[in-house]
Amino acid sequence: MQAELEPNFTLDLRGESCPYPVIYTLEALEGMNKGELLLVITDCPGSFRNVPEEAKAHGYTFAQEPVKNGQEYLFYIYA
């Protein structure tokens, strides 16, 4: 069990379909200060792949591996 991370912000995207999870995530990260932590909760299956891949492609880093929580995923991303 990892130590609990303390996100500065949470983006709750449950119910939203692609491409909005990836757009919202990148926008939120862009608006945050460098080093702040964003938690993304999403349940669109397409976003399980495109959110982490695009966050990385846009130069953001992950605080930990994505967490699968039933039919949704939790992503911890540093702005």
Going by C-alpha positions, the residue among 40, 76, 42, 39 that lies closest to residue 61 is 76
Cβ neighbour number for residue 5 with a 10 Å cutoff? 11
| Interaction of residue 65 with another protein, rule CB under 8 A | no
Among 1, 2, 3, 41, binds another protein (CB under 8 A): 41
- Annotated active-site residue in 9, 18, 63, 66: 18
Cβ neighbour number for residue 9 with a 10 Å cutoff? 14
Residues taking part in catalysis: 18
Judged by the rule CB under 8 A, the positions of this chain that interact with another protein are 6-20, 22-24, 26, 28, 39, 41, 43-46, 48-50, 53-54, 57-58, 69-72, 74
